Chains A and B, each alone.
Chain A
Amino acid sequence: MVKIGLDIGSTTIKYVVMNEKNEIVEKDYARHMSLITNKAIEILTFLQQKYPICKLSISGSAGMGLAKYCNVHFVQEVYSEKIAADQLLDHPDVIIELGGEDAKIIFLSSGLEVRMNGSCAGGTGAFIDQMALLLHIDGSEVNEYAKKYEKMYTIASRCGVFAKSDIQPLINQGAKKEDLAKSIFYAVANQTIGGLSQGREIKGKVIYLGGPLTFNSELRKCFDETLSIQGMCPENSLYYVAIGAALLDPRETELEDVIHLLKQYQKTSTYQCIDGLFSNVEEYEVFKKRHEQHVVLSRPIETYEGNAYLGIDAGSTTLKIVLIDEENRLLYTDYQPNNGQAISFVTTFLKHLYKDYPNIHIVSSAVTGYGEELLKAALNIDWGVVETIAHYTSASYFIKDVDFIIDIGGQDIKCFKIKNGYIDHIFLNEACSSGCGSFLQTFANALGYEMAEFAKLGLYADKPVDLGSRCTVFMNSLVKQAQKDGASIENISAGLSISVVKNALYKVIRTTPDQLGKNIVVQGGTFYNDAVLRAFEKELGLDVIRPNIAGLMGAYGAALYAKRHPVQESTLLNLKQIEQMKMDIIDTQCQGCTNHCSLTIHRFENGRKYIQGNRCDKPVTNKSSQDEYNIFQYKRKLLSQYQSKEDTNTKRGVIGIPLVLNMYDLLPFWYTLFTHLGFKVVTTGFSTQALYIKGQKTIPSDTVCYPAKLVHGHIESLLEQPIDALFYPSMTYNLDEHLGDNHYNCPVVAYYPEVIQVNVKRLRDKKFIHDYIGISNKQFPKKFLQVLNQYFKDITLKELKKAIAAGKEAYQNYHYLVDQEVDKIIERSRQENRQIIVLAGRPYHLDPKVDHEIDKLIVNLGASVVCEDSIARRSQKHPTTVINQWTYHARLYAAAYYCLDYDDMNLIQLVSFGCGLDAVTTDEVKSILEKKDKIYTQIKIDEITNLGAAKIRLRSLLSAIGERNGKR
């Protein structure tokens, strides 16, 4: 009797048929397009003809429920793989398998350990497909492109959504597909290794299994290179799960019975559902009628002669062009994917316009969106408009006293609250929850539909799937589960539309519907889908306005702006200039400072140029960075000085201190203390990518915050140096600054030394001082002496007390210097009428690798940057509505209160992704700032280096502040 192993994965179904000698007699695989039960029935029906009675096992992530219902033996897929490997291979050490959605590592020799990616780290096969979609190539072509790479980009290796926000701007900047393809593979390799090795080394005989690793030789190469090994991809590498399942004593089964049960299963399954969108056609018609009222009229361009105004919205994925006449009517509109070729699209359009309609004169032009600066430089457009202003301009055209604008575009969600005619709050989606237009599109395409057609399917769905509000990666598996449970495509479509709305409301805006106001304008291409629009109205319990040009609002706003801001003579390139236009793109590294930013320079024929990738103004203006407005730079300079000189006399030896987490605050203290005790002190300096990679193998939790992950690299780098001891104490309690009710550190800051102690094995034969220390406590000297004496017996209490006193003085002096500099910055700014931004977060946000030098960006945009700790020292303890018992949080609250009294001082909060405590602090800081109607801005930071979204947010904030102060 034959044995059949059926592997139902997240994207494919595979089967093997094995004879009694365990030889494979038949095998095949097919993509199931999420129609899992159907495909399973199809395959089994096919097999049934040859093998009516056989032994059958099911395995695979999507096979569990199905196997249970049909009473077929089920084998967990990773385990199954292990069984197959034991049978087929000669003593393998490690298996790395990438599947459609899962990544797995199995350590076989010396202690079995199996790892699967956590629920957060999506990606792998589906991720590569998604990235291919962005590159407009087929998933199978990525490998061919990757072969021809020349250059690599750093792409966040954490989860698909993050990587996407790294790649999109690169595409827009014109990065080569070849280079991106290779970079994507590297990101996958780094993600798998970083996320799954968790401190265990991958070495010896390494086996590659699963689709992505079977089909992509370049991906295998990336793993080989990263791990410095020569892995191998065996025969049948796609079928190991199926083989293992067949080998694990399946039960004798009549296939006919199973098929019969599967057909029943299809009908019986249930899933969580919510109310439908429309119950009948009449309801839909009324709804449609209502929305047809909000229109901008068009005028055929052929019939028009005279002045016209041009508005361009160069978004991250699409380019929109609007041309209007003197009566704000549309003469021409265009909406298309920009494919990174915004310039050529616009020039083509202008050429046609100039040639075909010589009697239309563009008297003023404006551009907005991601590509604003590039287009403005390339075409000499008259005005660059911040996105928020463009959108507000057009929304207020439809309804004067608009309260709220929500724009759901391809890549992002933008929401603005309007109060008394100015933009009061800006909400943008963070990189983690970008469930927007492209999200719907990705799902539509994955299921084989066009987006518009797909969204329409959901209009009359009776039981939409309840998908909650989460990021794409989570959504993927929820959709899969719903399909398994028999949800129809209509109900999935409706469910997705509703989830887009919930995502916007509860994840991005985070408010109860009643707080939005009455006059709400919805826009962005996504709202062309009536299903999304209806879902939004239902969730709000309110009728909203969707203009007929919902997808063109940015461009229309730009055109209106151009019209309201007439120029003497438009500088927009004329026909002749366009025809002569030349453009060179040069990729280079900036030599202006040690950052060596990767620059992309667009150079145009008449000397105009546009530089991308720079963090500071130096390559553009050749001026040095404006550090006199930037406390972050000043602090960095100060902190760099706490490092013993090479020839320091070492009475007691060398002590290493990692510059991580709370050390960014306490370094002056510890440095001075140890110097006084006669140690040479070595610190690690600021983080670099190389340093991060060095430590990533020992990170045990893939969801811990980025600043904590960086600790591993710092420790590794200290271990490379000749040090006698490493000092990184555990600190439940921080300094008591009397701004809160207690003075805790967060659990991660407090106890990360414990994680290091357990997971960095090389530390075990070193003196690693990671004991618990309470520096605010009265008995600190005595207790600390006990700790130190374990490692250095001869230190005396007298000596230590002196050293502590010196340390405290150094710490206070450090604060004094910082405070003085802040005074100067504030004074200078007030003289020059510069906005002052309190860039508030945690001390470790000072690390340029952590804050991505957002501080410099702010200074470049014309504001000054001061820090929360110095501002907090000017403030005092205030009542809070949350528990105020963490030292660093208390600084945030105190600094926020201080801002309330100064019109020219605003606070921006930096939040590290994954920081659980900031879920508490952000709401509180926001509510403090709102006491005096201050705009609250939060920037979430992670590994991602792309500052595009942050930049828009900052510009919007600064322009909104400017506008408000102008009105006052």
Chain B
Amino acid sequence: MAKDKSKRFKHILVPNMAPIHFELFRNIFRHMGYQVDVLTNSSNNLIQEGLRYVHNDTCYPALVVIGQVLDALKTKNYDPETTAVVLTQTGGGCRASNYLKLLRKALDRAGYEKVSVLSLNLAHLEKENHIHVDLKMIRRMVAGLVYGDLLMFLGNQIRPYEKETGKTDDVIEKWVTKLSHEINHGHALSIHSMKKYTKQIAHDLATIETEQRNKIKVGVVGEIFVKYSSVGNNNLEQFLLDEGCEIRVPGIMGFVLYSISARMDAIELYGGSSIKHWIIRLLYRYVLKMEKVMIKAIDQEKKFEPMMPFTHTKETAKKIIGLGAIMGEGWLLTAEMAVLCEEGFPNIICTQPFGCLPNHIVGKGMIRKIKEIEPNANIVPIDYDPSATKVNQENRIKLMLSVARNDTK
């Protein structure tokens, strides 16, 4: 591990997506010797930079992510020689696999040839420039994922009802700081301490004083970046909170499990190495176990409803779409919509970049069937794009909310 060249960089820039998760990840990476900076710049200039250096028909997340990197490079004086940008890569059939290459092109065109681009992937892509992923790192990342998902998930459940405004976020912030500290010292990562901390977190959040309020329950699904990133989705979360909603956003854990299980399914569908299947299955089981830790912690608090386990989500998917649909968010997105309906969140916003190819299939394409299974599903697909106007988007969301209010009457 000491051989990993990536550690020599003074700054490894990471475009932000989900703030709680990414702050935890940053600390995990720093502890392992990678000088990670999570970018927080969000000015309008970011989109302008993206438009200038990325093909405008490329999907919106690429534009935002690359724009954010360029904006950061231009406004802060990073030394190109010792700065790198890291992006994740899945290597799937969605054009998102190309982000890294597009970023490289954009950096060259903007005059940052010397800034390095690193890949974080499990698909053996970019062998020259990648962060070396080993078991230790996987274990830590999964821990970060559990904490991140838990804090996000419970925060969403409690925030709309908190008596004292801002209390939930205070508690979350306290925990992010605490966990970061623990992680920096190599703690909070064993399964034992994870059990302990998840329980404490759930308990801590459960004790926030709340009051009964009439809220509309809204689920948010979609392309992973615009779903989570407030820069990408015009501050969707805040808008929904202001409109009097309790939101539920399925966690990143689901996406990770989906990505892993897709590899097993591919072998089952088309044939392939049984050894590979066995190894992937080990990883799959390990992450499922971590999911259980999280669900258990939530379950012990009466105040909270846990998420449906991933295995259930996958079973739900089978009723609607084939498990072979694995580009982009694939069958997961479809299943998440159906599961949200089951969980009492039939009002759903399906976010996607304008012209997102997989979402033609697994998003918009599947709504008909979901409505057959869950007749009260109230789904609105929203497209995100550099010039899709906020008013337009909000108007459509308001329509969905009106129908939701009508149903609750």
Contacts and interface: CB of A to CB of B under 8 A. Distances in A.
B166 interface: no
B395 A64 contact: yes
Contact of A506 (B51, B392, B393): B51
Given A76-B398, A119-B383, A469-B56, A703 B360 contact: yes
A118 B52 contact: no
Contact of B269 (A272, A470, A783): A783
A730 B389 CA distance: 35
B97 A777 contact: no
Range of interface residues on B (Cβ < 8 Å): 35 or more
A61 B51 contact: no
Contact of B357 (A64, A510, A747): A747
Interface in A191-210: 198-200
B385 interface: yes
Interface string B58-101: 11000000000000000000000000000000011111011001
Given A61-B391, A916-B57, A772 B269 contact: yes
Given A64-B394, A469-B56, A730-B324, A111 B357 contact: no
A904 interface: no
A114 B385 CA distance: 23
A701 interface: yes
A772 B327 contact: no
Contacts, number: 220
Contact of A919 (B95, B101, B365): B95
B46 to A, nearest CB: 12
B306 interface: no
A469 B51 CA distance: 9
B196 interface: no
B368 A758 contact: yes
Contacts of B385: 119, 474
B403 A112 contact: yes
B320 interface: yes
Interface in A467-489: 467-470, 474-475, 477-478, 480-481, 484
A746 B93 contact: yes
Given A916-B356, A920-B98, A751 B327 contact: yes
B271 A778 contact: yes
Interface in A673-708: 700-701, 703-704, 708
Contact of A700 (B109, B367, B389): B367
| Interface secondary structure of B, over-half rule | helix
B402 interface: yes
A64 B269 CA distance: 50
A779 B270 CA distance: 7
Contacts of B387: 467-470, 474-475, 478
A120 interface: yes
A398 interface: no
Nearest to A924: B101
A500 to B, nearest CB: 14
Nearest to B44: A272
A316 B363 CA distance: 40
Contacts of A723: none
B391 A118 contact: no
Contacts of A612: none
A118 B383 contact: yes
B59 A916 contact: yes
A750 B266 CA distance: 14
A78 interface: yes
Interface in A433-470: 466-470
Contacts of B102: 882, 920
A758 B271 contact: no
B120 to A, nearest CB: 15
B130 to A, nearest CB: 14
Nearest to A784: B270
B324 A732 contact: yes
A477 B389 contact: yes
A751 B361 contact: yes
B328 interface: yes
B94 A774 contact: no
A771 B325 CA distance: 11
B105 interface: yes
Given A79-B403, A477-B391, A751-B361, A885 B93 contact: yes
Given A119-B354, A747-B327, A778-B271, A758 B320 contact: yes
Contacts of A885: 91, 93, 97
A79 B406 contact: yes
Nearest to B328: A747
Contact of A76 (B324, B325, B375, B395): B395
A28 interface: no
Interface in B292-349: 320-322, 324-328
Contacts of B270: 733, 772-774, 777, 779-780, 783
B399 interface: yes
Contacts of B371: 111, 113
A782 B55 contact: no
Nearest to B407: A112
Interface string A603-614: 000000000000
A779 B271 contact: yes
A478 B389 contact: yes
Given A79-B402, A116-B396, A703-B355, A919 B324 contact: no
Interface string A19-61: 0000000000000000000000000000000000000000001
A466 B395 CA distance: 21
B366 interface: yes
Nearest to B367: A700
In this complex, which of B365, B375, B396, B403 has the most chain A Cβ atoms within 10 angstroms of its Cβ? Answer: B365
Nearest to A781: B271
Nearest to B402: A79
Contacts of A119: 354, 383, 385, 388-389, 392-393
B360 A704 contact: yes
Contacts of A236: none
B53 interface: yes
A727 B392 CA distance: 40
Contact of B399 (A114, A512, A759, A916): A114
B56 A506 contact: yes
B19 interface: no
Contact of B58 (A77, A198, A919): A919
Contact of A748 (B51, B324, B360): B360
B361 A916 contact: no
Contacts of A780: 270-271
Given A881-B105, A916-B355, A747 B403 contact: no
B395 A61 contact: yes
Interface in A112-138: 112-114, 116, 118-120
A752 interface: yes
Contacts of B58: 916, 919-920
A752 B392 contact: no
Given A119-B392, A772-B322, A885-B93, A919 B57 contact: yes
B386 interface: yes
B401 A76 contact: yes
Contact of A750 (B327, B368, B389, B396): B327
A498 to B, nearest CB: 12
A7 to B, nearest CB: 13
Contacts of B389: 119, 474, 477-478, 481
Given A747-B328, A885-B97, 10 more contacts: A116-B395, A119-B354, A506-B56, A703-B360, A744-B93, A751-B327, A754-B361, A772-B322, A773-B270, A783-B271
Interface of B: 44, 47, 51-53, 55-59, 91-95, 97-98, 101-102, 104-105, 109, 125, 266, 269-272, 320-322, 324-328, 354-369, 371, 375, 381, 383, 385-396, 398-399, 401-403, 406
17 contacts: A77-B395, A79-B406, A111-B371, A113-B371, A119-B385, A120-B354, A732-B266, A744-B92, A747-B94, A747-B360, A751-B358, A752-B361, A755-B361, A881-B101, A882-B101, A920-B55, A920-B98
In the complex, the 4 A-B pairs of residues with the closest C-beta atoms, listed nearest first = A779-B271, A772-B324, A774-B270, A79-B402
